A and B are shown apart, each in its own frame.
Chain A
Amino acid sequence: MALLEMRDICKSFSGVYANDHISLTVEKGEIHALLGENGAGKTTLVNILYGIYTADEGQVLWKGSPVDFHSPADAIASGIGMVQQHFSLVRRMSVLDNVIMNLQGNSFFLDRKASSRRLMELADKYGMHVDPQAMVCDLSVGEQQRVEILKALYRDVELLILDEPTGVLTPQETEHFFRILRTLKAEGYGILIITHRMSEIMEISDRVSILRDGRKAAELTTADTDPAELARYMIGRNLKEAYDLDQVSSQDALLTLENVCLQGGGRVRPVNDVSLTVHKGEILGIAGVEGNGQKELAEIVAGVKRCSSGRITLDGKDITDLNARRSYEAGISYISDDRLRDSLVTDMDVQENLILKEFRNEPFSTHRRMHFKAITKNAEEKVETYKIKTSGKGSVKTPVRLMSGGNQQKLIIARELTDSTVLVVASQPTRGLDIGATEFVRECLVSQRNAGKGVLLISADLEEILELSDRIAVVFGGRIVGILDRKDATEQQIGLLMGGIRQKEVGA
C-alpha cells in the first residue's frame, strides 16, 4: 500500500486546466521527484495535496484511505509537511517560535524550555544546526531552509513535500542537504521533491513524474532514464544547445567599479569593497547565493541606490553619483529581479508601461505635454517586434497584470534595450519564466553582447551563468571572492567560492 496516492486530480482556474487528471503515488522510504516547467502544474498539485487548494475532481488516498484536506492544518494533522519555495517563516520571530507555532500537542501555555530541548535533539540527529533563540530574519537562506525542514520534522510528518528546495543553495549546501534527505529516506520518510534541475533528479530521486501543460507526461524510474529523456518529456523537444559567444570580447573597459561599498543598516556592509570591470562586448556573470549583495550591487550600478564610497565609471565618465534617471540617460538599462515590484506598474496598461523610462522625451511628450498617438504607435511597434502577447486582441491597452510572466519580461526588455543602451544590468532575468521565454531573454542578452555592448548578468542559476558568461565573478558576503574565465570555470569551483571559500584556497 502506497503512503500517498493521488488519483485523477483535476483543477482548473477560470476555465484553464492547471491539473488535468494527474495521478501520482509516493511510497514509504521513497524519494519521488516532480519535474516540469514553470506553469506545468507542479505547485498546483502539491497545493491541493497540502490543503491550500481544493481539487475539482479526483481523490487523495493517505495510507490507503481517502482523505479530504480543507486546510494545511488537516494535512499536517495527517502527517504531511511541506517546505515551500518561498519560505513560510515569520521573519521577526525566533526559530523556536516558528517551529512550535500552532502545534497540536501544545498546551495552552508554551513550554519553550522543553520545546527547545527537543528541537536541539532533532537538529543534532540530522546535523542541522540552528540556534533556537535566533531571529529568523538574521539567518542565511540555507539556515532558514533548515528551520523549515525542522519545523516539518518536529510535527512528526511521514511525507515531506519540498518545493524547489535547492534553488537558493550552493552546490556544497545542496550536497549536505541531499545527505539529510537520504537519512530521512532510510528512516522511512516519503519525500516528494519538486525541481527543474535534471542533475539533481538523477542524483537523488528513485522515481520521477514529469508534468507538461497540466498533464502527466511520463513516470520513469530514475535508474532507467537520462537527462535528455527527461528534457524531452518536459518540453516536448530538445533543448537549445549553446549560445553564440564565439565573437571575442573587446579589451576596452566599459564599466568599472573601484572599491565600491554600501553601508547597510546593520554591522555588515551589503556591498563591501567591490572592484570589477565589464568590457565592451562581454557578459560578466555574477554568481552567488542570493542575499550576498547582488541585488544591491545591481541597484548601485543602475543608480537606484547610491554607494557610500568608491567610484564607478562608464566608458570613462564618472557615474558614481548619478540617480536612476541619469544612469538610464547615460546608457544603463536595468532588468530587475523583481518584475512586479521594480519594473512594472501592473495596474497600468502596456503602452503606459512601455514609456516608463522615456515619457519625458520626444516623441512621447514635448514641453511636458503627452502625445498619446506616438505612445500608442510605439507600443504597437514594440508588441509586434518582440511578439508580446497581450491578452485581449493584441490591444496595447491591456493592464500588465493580466499578462503572463514571460510577456511581462518581454515588455521590460522591449522598453529597456534601446539603441542608446551601452550596458545592460540584468538581475535574475529568467526567473519564473517558461523555457520559450527564457531562451528569448537569453538570446536578447547575447545579441546585446555581440553588438558590442556590455552585460552585467546576475543570476542564482549556476547553469545560466556558465552558459552565458564570458567571465564569472562570484560574490559572497558582499565581496567579490573570485573572478574566473569561462573556459577555466567549473561548477565545483564556483560552488566553493559561493560558499565563501576564497580563490586561493580553492587553488585555481
Chain B
Amino acid sequence: MNRRRTAALDLLIIIALTLLVGSILILACGAGPGEALSLFVQGIFKNKSSMVEVLVKACPLILTSLGCAVAYRAGFFTIGAEGQFYIGAMVTTALSLGLTGVPGWLRIIIALAGGFVSGALWALIAAVLKARFDISEIIITIMLNYIAIYFLGYAVRSFLMDPAGNVPQSAKIPKDGQLQVLMQGTRFHAGILIAFCSVVIVWYILTRLTAGYELKVVGLNQRAASVNGISVIRNIILSAFLSGGLAALAGGIEVIAIQKKLLEGISGGCGYTAVLIALIAGNRPFGVLAASILYAAVQSGAGSMQRQLGVPSSIVNILIGTLVVLILAKDLFHPRRRSSGADTQKGGSGV
C-alpha cells in the first residue's frame, strides 16, 4: 500500500516537473502560458476532426512502439524501428504500384504483408548478428537505420521515382490500393483499426501463450532460459521478426493511408520515439497504446502552438526525453531508497 502511494507520488512529481520544463520552454519563446495552453487544448479538442487526428498521428507510433516492446521483452534492445519503417514503406509502395493486374483489396493485403515481411527480415540482420556473434544490436540497428534512410533517398530518385514528375517521390498510389477513410470528414482510416487489433493480438501472445512466457524468460535471464531448455536464439529471432514486421507495417500504412506516395522523411522520426514510448509503457501492449495516444495528443497540441505562436514543435522531443530521464531519476526524490536499489538492478541492458 505504502509502496503504491510512493509510486503515485513519484508519478505526480514527474508529471509536474515535465510540465514545468514545458512551461519554461514556452515562456522562452516569448509566448504567454495561458494563451499557449488554450491553443494546446484547442489543437487536440477543437472538433471531431482534430480529435481523430490524434489517432491518425498515434497509429504509426502504436505499431512501432509495440514492435519495440516485443523485442525488449526478449532482451533484444533494438533501435531499428526507424529503418524498418522505411523498408516497409518502400516495399509496400513498390508492391502497390507494381501489382497492376491485381484487384485493389488483394493488392492492399499483399502490399502490407510484403512490407511486414521485408521489415521483419531487415530486423533479422541485427538479430542474427546478436544471437550468433553477440554484436551490440544497438549500434547495428542504428547503422541499419541510416542505410535504410539513404537507400530510400536513392529509391525515390531512381526506380521508385514518379516518372511523370521531377521531385524525389514516388507516383501516387492508385485510389483502389489506398486504405479507405472510414469516417467522413476526418482522416480516420482502416490502418488505425489494424493498429488496435495488433495491440490486442500482441497482448494475447505475450500474456496468454507459452510463446510470451518463453520471451519473458529469455528477456530476464538468458542463461536460465538455455539451461532450462528454452532456446535463446530462437526467441530473439522470433521477437526481432515480429518487432521488425510491426514497424514495417506502420510504414506501409503510412504510405497507403496517409501520404498516398513514398517520400523522404516519411517516418517523422517515429521509429526513435517508439523506443522511449515502449520504455515508458514498461513494454506492456496496452501501456504502449495509451502512451502513443498521449504522445500524439501532445504532438497535436504542440503543432497548434507552433502554427499560432511559433513555439518549435521539437518541444515534444524535449518533453519525452525529460520524461524518461525523470523516470530514471525518480529515486532522487527520496534518497533513502537508493541504497536498497541493489536488489532491483541488474547489469547489462535488461530493459
Q: Which residues of B contact A409 (CB under 8 A)?
A: none
Residue of A nearest to B218 (CB): A345
- Please state if A325 and B229 are interface contacts (CB–CB under 8 Å): yes
- Please state if B221 and A346 are interface contacts (CB–CB under 8 Å): yes
- Please state if B228 and A356 are interface contacts (CB–CB under 8 Å): yes
In whole angstroms, how far apart are the Cα atoms of A401 and B340 in the complex? Answer: 13
Shortest C-beta distance, B211 to chain A (Å), equals 7
- Please state if A347 and B213 are interface contacts (CB–CB under 8 Å): no
Binary flags per residue of B5-27, CB closer than 8 Å to A gives 1, else 0? 00000000000000000000000
Residue of B nearest to A372 (CB): B208
- Please state if A342 and B210 are interface contacts (CB–CB under 8 Å): no
- Please state if A342 and B229 are interface contacts (CB–CB under 8 Å): no
Residue of A nearest to B344 (CB): A401
Q: Is B110 an interface residue (CB 8 A)?
A: no
Shortest C-beta distance, A406 to chain B (Å), equals 17
User: A23-31, A363-371, A457-465, A485-493: which one contacts chain B?
Assistant: A363-371
Shortest C-beta distance, A408 to chain B (Å), equals 12
Binary flags per residue of A322-355, CB closer than 8 Å to B gives 1, else 0? 0111111000001010000111111110001001
Shortest C-beta distance, A336 to chain B (Å), equals 6
Given the known interface contacts A345-B220, A347-B220, A401-B343, the answer about A368 and B211 at a Cβ–Cβ threshold of 8 Å is yes
Classify the secondary structure of B's interface with A.
helix
Q: Which residues of A contact B230 (CB under 8 A)?
A: 325
CB-CB contacts below 8 Å: A296-346 with B: 299, 302-304, 323-328, 334, 336, 341-346
Q: Is B58 an interface residue (CB 8 A)?
A: no
- Please state if B210 and A370 are interface contacts (CB–CB under 8 Å): yes
Question: Of B224, B227, B228, B340, which contacts A14 at CB under 8 A?
Answer: B340
- Please state if A341 and B209 are interface contacts (CB–CB under 8 Å): no
Question: Of A304, A352, A368, which contacts B209 at CB under 8 A?
Answer: A368
Q: Is A112 an interface residue (CB 8 A)?
A: no
Q: Is A387 an interface residue (CB 8 A)?
A: no
Q: Is B223 an interface residue (CB 8 A)?
A: yes
Q: Which residues of A contact B343 (CB under 8 A)?
A: 401-402
- Please state if A370 and B209 are interface contacts (CB–CB under 8 Å): yes
Q: Which residues of A contact B217 (CB under 8 A)?
A: 345, 348, 356
Q: Which residues of B contact A154 (CB under 8 A)?
A: none
Please count how many residues in chain A sit with their CB below 8 Å of the partner chain's CB atoms.
33
- Please state if A356 and B224 are interface contacts (CB–CB under 8 Å): yes
Shortest C-beta distance, A333 to chain B (Å), equals 11
- Please state if A336 and B227 are interface contacts (CB–CB under 8 Å): yes
In whole angstroms, how far apart are the Cα atoms of A154 and B221 in the complex? Answer: 40
Given the known interface contacts A360-B210, A370-B208, the answer about A341 and B226 at a Cβ–Cβ threshold of 8 Å is no
Shortest C-beta distance, B58 to chain A (Å), equals 30
Q: Is A357 an interface residue (CB 8 A)?
A: yes
In whole angstroms, how far apart are the Cα atoms of A118 and B225 in the complex? Answer: 48
- Please state if A342 and B227 are interface contacts (CB–CB under 8 Å): yes
Q: Which residues of B contact A303 (CB under 8 A)?
A: 229
Q: Is A440 an interface residue (CB 8 A)?
A: no
- Please state if B224 and A365 are interface contacts (CB–CB under 8 Å): no
Q: Is B73 an interface residue (CB 8 A)?
A: no
Q: Which residues of A contact B260 (CB under 8 A)?
A: none
Given the known interface contacts A346-B221, A348-B220, A356-B217, the answer about A304 and B227 at a Cβ–Cβ threshold of 8 Å is yes
- Please state if B223 and A342 are interface contacts (CB–CB under 8 Å): yes
Q: Which residues of A contact B284 (CB under 8 A)?
A: none
Given the known interface contacts A341-B221, A368-B210, the answer about A323 and B229 at a Cβ–Cβ threshold of 8 Å is yes
Q: Count A-B pairs with CB separation below 8 Å.
A: 67
Q: Which residues of B contact A401 (CB under 8 A)?
A: 343
Q: Is B107 an interface residue (CB 8 A)?
A: no
Shortest C-beta distance, B29 to chain A (Å), equals 44
Residue of B nearest to A326 (CB): B229
Q: Is B216 an interface residue (CB 8 A)?
A: yes
Residue of B nearest to A303 (CB): B229
- Please state if A324 and B223 are interface contacts (CB–CB under 8 Å): no
- Please state if A352 and B224 are interface contacts (CB–CB under 8 Å): no
Given the known interface contacts A325-B229, A328-B229, the answer about A341 and B224 at a Cβ–Cβ threshold of 8 Å is yes
In whole angstroms, how far apart are the Cα atoms of A368 and B238 in the complex? Answer: 16
Given the known interface contacts A344-B224, A347-B220, A352-B213, the answer about A324 and B208 at a Cβ–Cβ threshold of 8 Å is no
In whole angstroms, how far apart are the Cα atoms of A365 and B229 in the complex? Answer: 17
Q: Is A359 an interface residue (CB 8 A)?
A: yes
Shortest C-beta distance, B77 to chain A (Å), equals 17
In whole angstroms, how far apart are the Cα atoms of A14 and B346 in the complex? Answer: 20
- Please state if A343 and B228 are interface contacts (CB–CB under 8 Å): yes
In whole angstroms, how far apart are the Cα atoms of A327 and B226 in the complex? Answer: 12
- Please state if B227 and A324 are interface contacts (CB–CB under 8 Å): yes
Q: Which residues of A contact B340 (CB under 8 A)?
A: 14
Besides A323-B229, A342-B227, A345-B221, 19 new A-B residue pairs in contact (Cβ under 8 A), listed by A number: A324-B226, A328-B228, A328-B229, A334-B227, A341-B223, A341-B224, A342-B223, A342-B224, A343-B224, A343-B227, A343-B228, A344-B221, A345-B217, A345-B224, A346-B220, A356-B228, A357-B229, A368-B209, A370-B208
Q: Which residues of A contact B221 (CB under 8 A)?
A: 341, 344-347
Q: Which of B221, B226, B229 has the most CB of A within 10 A?
A: B229
19 CB < 8 A contacts A-B: A304-B226, A324-B226, A324-B227, A324-B228, A327-B229, A328-B228, A341-B223, A342-B224, A342-B227, A343-B228, A344-B221, A345-B216, A345-B220, A347-B221, A348-B216, A348-B220, A356-B224, A368-B211, A369-B210
Q: Which residues of B contact A299 (CB under 8 A)?
A: 227
Binary flags per residue of A39-79, CB closer than 8 Å to B gives 1, else 0? 00000000000000000000000000000000000000000
Residue of A nearest to B216 (CB): A348
Shortest C-beta distance, A18 to chain B (Å), equals 14
In whole angstroms, how far apart are the Cα atoms of A343 and B224 in the complex? Answer: 5
In whole angstroms, how far apart are the Cα atoms of A484 and B129 in the complex? Answer: 48
Q: Which residues of B contact A328 (CB under 8 A)?
A: 228-229
In whole angstroms, how far apart are the Cα atoms of A343 and B250 in the complex? Answer: 39
In whole angstroms, how far apart are the Cα atoms of A345 and B226 in the complex? Answer: 12
Shortest C-beta distance, B249 to chain A (Å), equals 23
User: Which 10 interchain pairs have the tightest Cβ spacing?
Assistant: A325-B229, A324-B229, A342-B227, A345-B221, A356-B228, A345-B220, A368-B210, A341-B223, A347-B220, A365-B210
In whole angstroms, how far apart are the Cα atoms of A209 and B62 in the complex? Answer: 63
Q: Which residues of A contact B226 (CB under 8 A)?
A: 304, 324
CB-CB contacts below 8 Å: A91-126 with B: none
In whole angstroms, how far apart are the Cα atoms of A365 and B208 in the complex? Answer: 10
Q: Which residues of A contact B223 (CB under 8 A)?
A: 341-342
CB-CB contacts below 8 Å: B317-351 with A: 340, 343, 346
Q: Which residues of A contact B227 (CB under 8 A)?
A: 299, 302, 304, 324, 334, 336, 342-343
Q: Which residues of A contact B213 (CB under 8 A)?
A: 352, 355, 359, 370
CB-CB contacts below 8 Å: B215-270 with A: 216-217, 220-221, 223-230
Q: Which of B213, B225, B226 has the most CB of A within 10 A?
A: B213
Q: Which residues of B contact A334 (CB under 8 A)?
A: 227
Shortest C-beta distance, B214 to chain A (Å), equals 8
